[in-house]
C-alpha cells in the first residue's frame, strides 16, 4: 500500500462487528506506529456478531446503553484512560451525537493540539417534533471535528448541507470485502431449471424476508429456487410462512466465511429485500446481480442500473416486479453479474476504503 500514516492512530467505535475486522486490520498495516480500536459490547437484542482483531490493537470500552429507539444514548466508560494509554496522534470517532463520551475525547485531543476526524453515514434532515433541537445538537457535534469521513456520496452531500466545509469531507465508500482475486464462478444450468435466488443476512423483521417468500411464490414457471442463509428472531415465523406460500424454500442457518462460498457460487441472483446488510458486496464479488432496498446511501454507490435494481423499502409490489424482470433474461443476469464483479474489483472494496481513510488522516496530520 503506497499511502501510509507515520503516526499512531486511535479509532473509537460503539461496537466492533465481525465484518469490520478485515478493514481495521488492513488499516493497521498502513499505520507505521499502529492502530488501536476502542469499542464495547452491543445490546443483546441487536444480534451483532462481535469481531476479534488480528493486527490492530483492541481496547475494551464499557458501554452503558440508555433508553431505546429514537431516544437511545450510549455512554462509553474507559475512554479517557484509553486515550492516555494509547496517546494517538490522530483520533477517528463515530460522528454520532448519541455517543455522549465523544465530546470529552475531542477536548482531550484538541488540548494537545491533535486532530479528530468524525466518521459516519451522513446527516439526513431530522423529522418530528424535536427536529430543530436535534439539528442543533448534531450541528454542534459536527463542528467539533477537523474533517469528516462519509460512508457514501449521499453522506458527503448531507454533511455539506448541514454546514460542514465540503473541502474537509472525504468519502470512504462502505466496504466489507477485499478486492476479489479468485476467478468468478462459472454458472450453467439447464433451461428447464428455475433461477436460484439467494438471501444472506440476519432474520429480523426489517429484512423483509416475508416479502421475498411471497414474491418467489408469484414468479412464473418453472419458478425459482430460494435459499435463505442466516438466523435470527424471525426464523420460526418465516419457516411457518414458507410452509404456507413457498414450501421449497431452503433455510440453511448461519454460515460464515468459506461456508458461504458454495451458496454464492450456485446462485443466479442475490436479493436483499429489507434495509441493512453488507452481504450484498460479497454477492457482487461472486459476480451476482443484486436487488436491494434503498437505504442509507451506500446502496446508491454499489447498485446501479448496470448491475442490479434498487427498490423502495417496504414496497412489496416493487420488489416482485424487479424480481420478475430480473429472472426473465438469463444472459442479462450474467452480464449484470460481471459488472457487479467489476465494481467490487475496481471501485468499492476494503483496499479502496483504507486508501480514503489514509487521505483523510494525512490531510489533518
In a domain, 219, yes or no: yes
Give the per-residue pLDDT at 1.
53
In a domain, 180, yes or no: no
Give the per-residue pLDDT at 191.
59
Question: Would you write out the chain's pLDDT as a tens digit for each of its 365 residues?
Answer: 568 999 999 999 999 999 999 999 999 999 999 999 999 999 888 878 889 999 999 999 999 999 888 889 999 999 999 999 999 999 999 999 999 999 999 999 999 999 999 999 999 887 777 777 778 888 899 999 999 999 999 999 999 999 999 999 999 999 999 999 888 888 876 556 789 999 999 999 999 999 999 999 999 998 999 999 999 999 999 999 999 999 999 999 999 888 999 999 999 999 999 987 778 999 999 999 999 998 766 788 899 999 999 999 999 999 999 999 999 999 999 999 999 999 999 999 999 999 999 999 999 99
Give the per-residue pLDDT at 2.
65
Reading the block at residue 27, the C-alpha cell is: 488499516
With residue 184 as reference, give the H or E element that holds it. none
Yes or no: say if 47 and 202 are a contact pair by the CB < 8 Å rule.
Answer: yes
Number of H helices, E strands in the chain: 13, 15
150 shares its domain with 293: no
306 shares its domain with 360: no
122 shares its domain with 56: yes
List alpha helices for the chain, DSSP H.
21-29, 79-86, 102-111, 131-143, 153-161, 209-218, 235-245, 261-266, 279-285, 298-302, 316-327, 330-346, 350-364
How far are the Cα atoms of 59, 156, 217, 291 from residue 304, in angstroms, in the given order? 38, 19, 26, 10
Reference 148, options 134, 160, 140; nearest CA is 160
Reference 363, options 172, 167, 173, 174; nearest CA is 167
233 shares its domain with 123: no
241 shares its domain with 317: yes
216 shares its domain with 336: yes
DSSP-derived letter for residue 38 is E
In a domain, 2, yes or no: no
Q: What is the β-pairing status of strands 62-66 and 57-60? A: unpaired
In a domain, 188, yes or no: no
Yes or no: say if 180 and 345 are a contact pair by the CB < 8 Å rule.
Answer: yes
In a domain, 290, yes or no: yes
Q: What is the β-pairing status of strands 269-272 and 250-253? A: unpaired
Distance between CA atoms of residues 344 and 48, nearest Å: 24
217 shares its domain with 153: no
252 shares its domain with 117: no
Distance between CA atoms of residues 12 and 207, nearest Å: 28
357 shares its domain with 322: no
Q: Grid coordinates 460464515 are at which residue?
A: 256
159 shares its domain with 202: no
Domain count along the chain: 2
* CATH number, residue 211: 3.40.50.2000
58 shares its domain with 146: yes
Domain housing 342: 196-346
232 shares its domain with 260: yes
Amino acid at each position: 500500500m503506497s499511502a501510509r500514516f507515520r503516526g499512531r492512530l486511535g479509532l473509537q467505535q460503539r461496537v466492533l462487528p465481525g465484518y469490520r475486522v478485515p478493514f481495521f486490520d488492513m488499516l493497521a498495516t498502513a499505520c507505521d506506529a499502529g492502530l488501536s480500536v476502542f469499542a464495547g459490547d452491543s445490546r443483546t437484542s441487536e444480534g451483532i456478531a462481535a469481531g476479534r482483531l488480528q493486527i490492530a490493537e483492541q481496547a475494551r470500552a464499557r458501554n452503558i446503553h440508555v433508553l431505546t429507539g429514537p431516544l437511545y444514548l450510549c455512554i462509553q466508560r474507559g475512554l479517557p484512560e484509553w486515550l492516555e494509554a494509547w496517546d494517538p496522534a490522530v483520533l477517528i470517532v463515530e460522528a454520532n451525537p448519541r455517543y455522549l463520551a465523544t465530546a470529552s475525547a475531542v477536548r482531550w485531543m484538541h488540548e494537545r493540539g491533535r486532530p479528530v476526524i468524525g466518521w459516519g453515514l451522513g446527516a439526513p434532515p431530522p423529522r418530528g417534533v424535536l427536529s430543530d433541537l436535534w439539528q442543533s445538537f448534531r450541528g454542534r457535534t459536527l463542528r467539533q471535528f477537523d474533517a469528516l469521513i462519509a460512508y457514501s456520496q449521499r453522506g458527503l452531500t448531507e454533511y455539506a448541507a448541514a454546514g460542514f466545509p465540503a473541502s474537509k469531507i472525504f468519502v470512504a465508500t462502505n466496504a466489507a470485502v477485499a478486492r476479489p482475486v479468485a476467478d468468478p464462478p462459472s454458472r450453467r444450468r439447464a433451461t428447464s431449471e428455475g433461477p436460484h435466488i439467494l438471501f444472506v443476512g440476519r432474520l429480523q423483521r426489517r429484512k423483509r424476508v416475508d416479502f421475498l417468500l411471497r414474491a418467489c411464490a408469484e414468479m412464473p414457471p418453472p419458478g425459482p429456487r430460494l435459499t435463505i442463509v442466516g438466523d435470527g428472531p424471525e426464523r420460526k415465523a418465516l419457516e411457518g410462512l414458507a410452509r404456507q406460500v413457498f414450501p421449497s424454500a431452503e433455510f440453511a442457518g448461519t454460515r460464515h466465511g468459506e461456508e458461504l462460498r458454495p451458496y454464492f457460487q450456485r446462485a443466479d441472483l442475490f436479493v436483499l429485500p429489507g434495509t441493512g446488510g453488507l452481504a450484498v458486496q460479497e454477492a457482487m464479488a461472486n459476480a451476482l446481480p443484486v436487488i436491494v432496498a434503498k437505504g442509507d446511501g451506500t446502496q446508491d454507490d454499489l447498485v446501479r442500473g448496470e448491475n442490479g435494481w434498487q427498490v423502495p423499502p417496504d414496497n412489496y409490489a416493487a420488489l416482485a416486479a424487479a424480481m420478475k424482470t430480473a429472472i426473465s433474461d438469463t444472459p442479462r443476469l450474467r452480464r449484470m453479474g460481471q459488472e457487479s464483479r467489476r465494481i467490487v474489483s475496481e471501485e468499492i472494496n476494503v483496499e479502496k476504503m483504507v486508501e480514503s481513510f489514509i487521505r483523510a488522516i494525512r490531510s489533518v496530520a
